[in-house]
Amino acid sequence: MDNLTHSLVGWVLAETGLKRRTRKGLAACVLAANMPDIDVFFGWAPWAPLAMHRGFTHGLVGGVLLMPPLLAGLLWLLDRWQVSRGATFRSGLSMHFGWLVALCYLGALTHPLLDLQNTYAVQLMSPASERWFHTDGLFIVSPWLLAMLGAGLWPARRRRSGRPAVAALASVIGFIGLNIGISALAWRSMPDAAAADRVFASPEPLLFWRREVVWRSQGQIGQGRFDPFRGFALTAPPRADAMEHPLARRAASATPEVREFLAWSQLPFARIRRTRCTAIVTFGDGRFSGPRMAGSFLVSATVPVRAAGCPHP
């Protein structure tokens, strides 16, 4: 999800009354709700689980278990430094480190739970497993979710009551549950659903009940649309992913960029364009193959081919 949504979830969580449990309570909830996205600064890291976005820092070990106490410690040190300089705090609250840690854990838990809802998916078990998990319950930027959170945050702050914030969080949970149910219907409605080894059903941003469905079955990638009021319809005939083609298999390890892309991709496909002595293999991901996104999710490699008059590869 986008960081505005993560921030609002942490803020609304704090406005339920939790922010008054300790000094720095609001900061703990908001910062912890965004903390797992620190991995965007570590794409250079030699350790693959950390370099992978939505990997280690979004998993149950890194993001949920290990990182919250570190954030709590940093906030506590900041508070100690402020106190040593004679700072006063308008809230009148005292510092309770135990509550600070608890709020960091609560805020951090919301992040993978939200990211789990869209088709980008999360490696929840990293670093023990590279498996991606997703429920397809939300578009990556949901205006409906933003509206619900805003509708709870404003009266909670105005009335200084936690009830609107609690109601907003309950609405968010109900909305996500409804959408997970719709995606489950979409998964089951596609043709020959039992034969598919991967299926993604992405909600539309405004018409949230509609789904863009993409799946892989027996080496082919299919695309369709689902509407619970109209049923399922194919939007394009299934097309071979070509990942087992000899040229694609060679290109898959040709460059670090391709290897990283394929480690992230969950519905990879290859398109091969041959010239006389080389082949340009372009890899994409079926989840993001629409005309508006395809250009941002493609990577290519050039490999030599065997032909008369060409250097041997």
| 159-163 long-range Cβ contacts below 8 angstroms, 24+ apart | 162/15, 162/16, 162/17
In the prediction, which pLDDT does 289 show? 78
At residue 23, the pLDDT reads 93
Q: Which two tokens stand for residue 228?
A: 């619970």
pLDDT tens column, 85-121: 888 888 889 999 999 999 999 999 999 999 999 999 9
Chain segment 43-76, per-residue pLDDT in tens: 888 888 888 899 999 999 999 999 999 999 999 9
pTM: 0.89
> 3-state DSSP call for residue 49?
helix
Give the residues across from 280 on adjacent strands: 273, 302
SS (H, E, C) 183-238: HHHHHHHCCCHHHCCEEEEEECCCCCCCEEEEEEECCEEEEEEEECCCEEEEEEEE
pLDDT tens-place values along the chain, 313 residues long: 899 999 999 999 999 999 999 999 999 999 999 999 999 999 888 888 888 899 999 999 999 999 999 999 999 999 999 999 888 888 889 999 999 999 999 999 999 999 999 999 999 999 999 999 999 999 999 999 999 999 999 999 988 888 999 999 999 999 999 999 999 999 988 877 778 889 999 999 999 999 999 999 988 999 999 999 999 999 888 899 999 999 999 999 989 999 999 999 999 999 999 888 888 999 999 988 765 655 678 999 998 887 766 776 5
What SS3 class is residue 159?
helix
Shortest CA distance to 17 belongs to which of 170, 156, 162? 162
Return the SS3 of 102: helix
What Rg, from alpha-carbon coordinates, does the chain have? Answer: 23
